[in-house]
């Protein structure tokens, strides 16, 4: 790249030179840390992504060296390319912080607050965003959207109520498979992810929609309800796969492999292989190779300190003191007649059951009926 193609851009008072054509978001990611705006729909490995969710809004306080006028409105940094001499404010702009809180409120209008039972909890970008910018109550007075259930096949579970219509899974199916069978049907309030005529998503690379989904709308049926991500130990591993790069992260508890995912970078996007290609993984690696012996383990995966999976991520902000609420306080003075300890009622820790290996989600039957599965 010749030098005249480099543009100087200043984001949150930090100046960087980037090639012409770079977006403000990519330039901010090159600086890193909090300077990089959140992005719920942009995915650098998917062509055409971005411009849907508005979480990446920034203020352009100086357009360029030639035309220093500020841009009149906040702009989506994932879709705005830098100009030479441009000055941008992200976390240093009150307007941006305020707008982001508004965007989060909109995203949460219909999104259920079911993090306690959602498999994406702990690695959900919307959960992080709500924690940073959300409010503790809602102003929305209407019923949240509900949808007819669509079965996407044996490996992928769709929870449409959680979808934020970012289109990432649609671009993934378009760009990684030879025939896309799902998409966004209808418009506006009725828009939903569906296959129109019930079809299962079974292309060999379709499992990647689970990794790109920023929320818990698309989750892995082989992992569903079996464990929480923060109890698992991520390990880098690889195998000689004829279909994909075979470079994955195993999510283990002891020797049990609960889940297999692509390796993700600090922006939550699939990491590049050493050959510089996106490290998408195939369904066989993701759903079928659930034995430690299927893999060559490289070592523990480093988890960023900022990640919610890292221990104590929220501790500094919430504090380590016990919450003040008691049952009586939240129950308007009524105290419960009976409190049950789950461990007295159910043998949930049966040592002969490997949750990572049972078919489908684990529930009462797994523990209470005669279970044929043996470790
Ligand atoms: S299902 Fe997930 S990836 Fe697909 S549009 Fe909805 S939020 Fe985005
Ligand atoms: S990440 Fe830019 S609009 Fe969604």
Write the pLDDT tens digit of every residue in 279-315: 999 999 999 999 999 999 999 888 776 666 776 555 5
The confidence score (pLDDT) of residue 343 equals 60
**Ligand nearest the Cα atom of residue 171:** 1
The pLDDT of residue 242 is above 70: yes
251 CB neighbour count, 10 Å cutoff: 22
Is the CB of 163 within 6 Å of ligand 1? Answer: yes
Six-digit token string for 100: 């982001």
Mean pLDDT of 31-58: 96
Q: Which of 24, 29, 56 to mutate to test the pocket of ligand 2 (most atoms within 8 A of CB)?
A: 56
Non-local (6+) Cβ contacts of 190 within 8 A are none
Q: What is the pLDDT of residue 349?
A: 61
Burial class (CB in 10 A: 0-12, 13-18, 19+), 242: exposed
The pairing of strands 6-11 and 86-89 is parallel
The SS3 call for residue 184 is strand
Å from CA of 77 to ligand 2 middle = 7
Model confidence over 67-85: pLDDT tens digits? 999 999 999 999 999 999 9
Question: Quick one: which of 26, 25, 27 has its CA closest to 17?
Answer: 27
- What pLDDT score was predicted for residue 170? 96
Task: Indicate whether 278 pLDDT > 50.
Answer: yes
Q: What is the pLDDT of residues 316-362, one digit of tens each?
A: 554 445 555 667 776 777 777 777 666 666 666 666 777 777 777 77
Contact present, 217 and 257 (Cβ < 8 Å): no
Q: Is 29 in the pocket of ligand 2 (CB under 6 A)?
A: no
- In this structure, are residues 156 and 207 in contact, taking their beta carbons and an 8 Å threshold? yes
Rounded distance, CA 95 to CA 102, Å? 11
Q: What is the number of residues in the chain?
A: 375
pLDDT of residue 374: 47
pLDDT for 16: 96
| Residue 262 near residue 256 (C-beta atoms within 8 A) | no
Residue 264: partners with Cβ closer than 8 Å, 6 or more residues away: 211, 249, 270, 271
Q: Which one of the ligands is nearest to 219 CA?
A: 1
* 32, 85, 247 from 95: Cα distances, Å: 21, 21, 42
CB of 50 within 6 A of ligand 2: the answer is yes
Query: What separation in Å is there between the alpha carbon of 335 and the centre of ligand 2?
Result: 46
Structure tokens at 119: 């498999």
Residue 254, C-beta contacts closer than 8 angstroms, at least 6 positions apart: none
**Helices 125-133/94-107 angle, 10° precision:** 130
- Percent share of the chain, pLDDT over 90: 61
Choice among 26-35, 240-249, 254-263, 303-312 with the minimum mean pLDDT: 303-312
CA distance 120 to 230: 11
Residue 354 CA to residue 351 CA, distance in Å, equals 8
Query: Sheet harboring 233-238: ordered strands across?
Result: 256-262, 247-253, 233-238, 296-300
Return the pLDDT at 287. Answer: 95
Contact call for residues 108 and 130 (beta carbons, < 8 A): yes
User: Which pair of structure tokens corresponds to residue 117?
Assistant: 């039972």
Structure tokens at 371: 């279970």
Q: Pick from 54, 88, 212 the residue to mutate for probing ligand 2's pocket: most ligand atoms within 8 Å of its CB.
A: 54
For the segment 105-149, what is each residue's pLDDT rounded down to a tens digit? 999 999 998 899 999 998 999 998 998 888 878 888 888 889 988
CB 162 within 8 A of CB 215: yes
CA distance 217 to 157: 8
Q: Whole-prediction pTM value? A: 0.85
* Contact 182 CB / ligand 1 (< 6 Å): no
> pLDDT at position 201, please?
85
Nearest residue (by CA) to ligand 1, atom 6, is 163
Find all residues with CB under 8 Å of 346, minimum gap 6, and list them: 364, 367, 368
Give the mean pLDDT of the chain: 87
């Amino acid at each position: 790249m010749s030098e005249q193609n480099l543009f100087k851009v200043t984001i949150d008072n930090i100046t960087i030179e980037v090639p012409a054509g770079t977006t403000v978001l990519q330039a901010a990611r090159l600086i890193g840390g909090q300077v990089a705006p959140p992005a719920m729909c942009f995915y650098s490995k998917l062509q055409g992504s971005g411009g849907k969710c508005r979480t990446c809004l920034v203020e352009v306080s100086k357009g360029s060296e030639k035309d220093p006028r500020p841009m009149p409105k906040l702009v989506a940094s994932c879709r705005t390319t830098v100009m030479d001499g441009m000055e941008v404010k992200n976390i240093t702009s009150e307007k941006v912080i305020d707008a982001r809180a508004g965007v989060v409120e909109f995203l949460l209008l219909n999104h259920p607050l079911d993090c306690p039972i959602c498999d994406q909890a702990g690695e959900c970008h919307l959960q992080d965003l709500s924690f940073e910018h959300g409010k503790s109550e809602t102003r929305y007075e209407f019923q949240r959207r509900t949808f007819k259930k669509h079965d996407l096949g044996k490996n992928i579970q769709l929870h449409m109520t959680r979808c934020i219509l970012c289109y990432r899974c649609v671009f993934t199916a378009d760009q990684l498979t030879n025939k896309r069978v799902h998409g966004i049907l209808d418009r506006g309030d009725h828009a939903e992810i569906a296959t129109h005529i019930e079809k299962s998503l079974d292309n060999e690379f379709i499992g990647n929609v689970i990794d790109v989904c920023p929320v818990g709308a698309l989750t892995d049926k082989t992992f569903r309800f079996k464990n929480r991500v923060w109890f698992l130990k991520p390990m880098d591993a690889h195998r000689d796969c004829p279909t994909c790069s075979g470079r994955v992260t195993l999510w283990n508890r002891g020797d049990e492999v609960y889940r297999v995912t692509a390796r993700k970078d600090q922006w939550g996007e699939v990491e590049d292989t050493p050959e510089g290609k996106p490290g998408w993984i195939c369904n066989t690696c993701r759903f079928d190779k659930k034995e430690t012996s299927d893999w060559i383990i490289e070592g523990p995966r480093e988890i960023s300190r900022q990640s919610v999976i890292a221990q104590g991520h929220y501790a500094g902000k919430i504090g380590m003191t016990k919450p003040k609420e008691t049952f009586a306080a939240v129950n308007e003075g009524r105290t419960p007649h009976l409190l049950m300890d789950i461990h007295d009622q159910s043998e949930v820790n049966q040592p002969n059951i490997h949750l990572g290996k049972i078919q489908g989600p684990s529930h009462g039957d797994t523990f209470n009926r005669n279970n044929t599965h043996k470790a």
